[in-house]
Amino acid sequence: MTNAAQTKQMQSGPGFIAALDQSGGSTPKALGLYGVSEDAYSNDAEMFDLIHAMRARIAQAPAFTGEKVIGAILFEMTMDREINGKPSATFLWEDRGVVPFLKVDKGLEDGANGVKMMKPMPDLDALLDRAVAAGIFGTKMRSVIDAANQAGIEAIVAQQFEVGAQITAKGLMPIIEPEVNITIVDKAEAEVMLLAALTRHLDALPEGQQVMLKLTLPEVENLYKPLVDHPAVMRVVALSGGYSRDEANARLSTNTGMIASFSRALTEGLSAGQTDDEFNATIAATIDSIAAASNAG
């Protein structure tokens, strides 16, 4: 994290982080919402070409700049590709003023104790070295909470911070993402347990060390304000988690200090069949609305 300008932007820049990190499992759905059906590609390579084209189109839209989009989370294949003739991370920072992050997890284990832990990442060190070389600022890794299960939540947070320490050791900023499933009946109880577990792990970090947190928008407004204010937290960002953009924005605007890191809510309304003018107008309106909600809190 040697780039002081990137650090400052992530600490205090107004706006939000775009999540452009759909992986193999979620890409067909993302393409379908974008108007590209599964019969438009015959293998994974063609599928990833199409999702990269979508991401590149978003990143090159006139409104997609660091003025309101302070960061963007990339899928590994996006980091390895180019946008407008430059490596993706280089293009984002040099041409757009957007701080690049990388999704590093390899998906989820089967559920146990009400949670889905991250799968093992034996090649993480090599991936992190590539990320550093590519100019990536930080990383993101997701696991999922499906019930207010104390043991499961403790395990999921411990795993996140353990991997986070490995990422920090490489000089990258980890975004820790223990997502709470928005459909569960005990969501509010799970969030109280998660707050306690996160606080304990943050309190145990070495002085001066920081992480970022990516959390589901809570049932209780400002539940996570203590995390926003914690000295070991650079920024708390919110995932849309399946909420519509309007509902995600409404919830976000009531949570002081949290900013968005939306994926599906960011691409809602975009279509492969739109003209460039239509596409750019749609993404500009979306960026304005998410930035406003991020800055309102």
Identified catalytic residue from 103, 116, 140, 214:
214
pLDDT of 1 reads 42
Exposure string for 183-207, b = 16+ CB within 10 A, e = fewer: eeebbeebbbbbbebbeebbeebee
Asked if 214 is an active-site residue, the reply is: yes
- The active-site residue out of 68, 116, 140, 177 is 177
Burial of 129 (0-12, 13-18, 19+ CB in 10 A): exposed
Give a three-class secondary structure readout of the chain: CCCHHHHHHHHHCCCEEEEECCCCCCHHHHHHHCCCCHHHCCCHHHHHHHHHHHHHHHHCCCCCCCCCEEEEEECHHHHCCEECCEEHHHHHHHHHCCEEEEECCCCECCCECCEECECCCCCHHHHHHHHHHHCCCEEEEEEEECCCCHHHHHHHHHHHHHHHHHHHCCCCEEEEEEEECCCCCCHHHHHHHHHHHHHHHHHCCCCCCCEEEEEECCCCCCCCHHHHCCCCEEEEEEECCCCCHHHHHHHHCCCCCCEECCCHHHHCCCCCCCCHHHHHHHHHHHHHHHHHHHHHC
177 counts as catalytic? yes
Residues 6+ apart with CB under 8 A from 123: none
Question: What pLDDT does 24 receive?
Answer: 62
- pLDDT above 90 covers a percentage of the chain that reads 92
The pLDDT assigned to 11 comes to 95
Low-confidence ranges of the chain (pLDDT < 70): 1-2, 24, 297
